[in-house]
Amino acid sequence: MKDPFFFGYGSLVNRATHTYPDVVQAHVTGWRRVWRGTNLRNVAFLTAEPDSGAEIAGLIASVPGADWVALDKRERAYTRHNVADIRHGHSGQLDVQIYSVEPRHGEEGQHPILLSYLDTVIQGYLSEFGEEGARDFFDVTGGWRRPLFDDRAAPIYPRATDVSLDERAFVDENLVRIRA
């Protein structure tokens, strides 16, 4: 049996946040990425939602032996869904899953976007897709009207990575650009 794959579209694009093997770039059609608040925590989640006209770039990585336990624990607020329309660098058909926060968790208030979370995500996009791909992240992601919470000095996000001053400046410039 071939190992299944997950599609990462946020912090899972940053290889420093996981050790899953067989990682390649991919594009999923039929889903859009959005910041969303829930009744599960006081800060925004980055999630994927079905949208027939949308496409998001990210990475796929294999889940050896279909052992989803550790990844499901990491992504405990999300539910896995099959991905039907995906382009990737592997040959042949793959079983690919995407994580999405369930609508039953509600939209509770204006939960802020953690800058440590966003920095980690964008560091991954810069590494994998360059500046153009990272700018595209900002352009195609919804939910940017949420407040921002600057936790960079003491990151709240549990998988926050060390980002350079240039990476931080890139994030800040693009936040100004899309929120203008």
Domain locations in the chain as residue ranges:
5-179
Please report the pLDDT score of residue 132 as a whole number.
Answer: 98
Cβ–Cβ under 8 Å, residues 132 and 116: no
Architecture of the domain delimited by 5-179: Roll (3.10)
pLDDT beneath 50, residues of the chain: none
pLDDT at 90: 84
So what's the pLDDT on residue 134?
98
- SS3 label, residue 150: coil
The amino acid at residue 155 is P
pLDDT of the residue at 62: 92
Using DSSP, state whether 9 is helix, strand or coil: coil
Q: How high is the pLDDT of residue 180?
A: 65
Ramachandran category for residue 178: left, alpha or beta (phi over 0 → left; psi -120 to 50 → alpha): alpha
Q: What pLDDT is recorded for position 131? A: 98
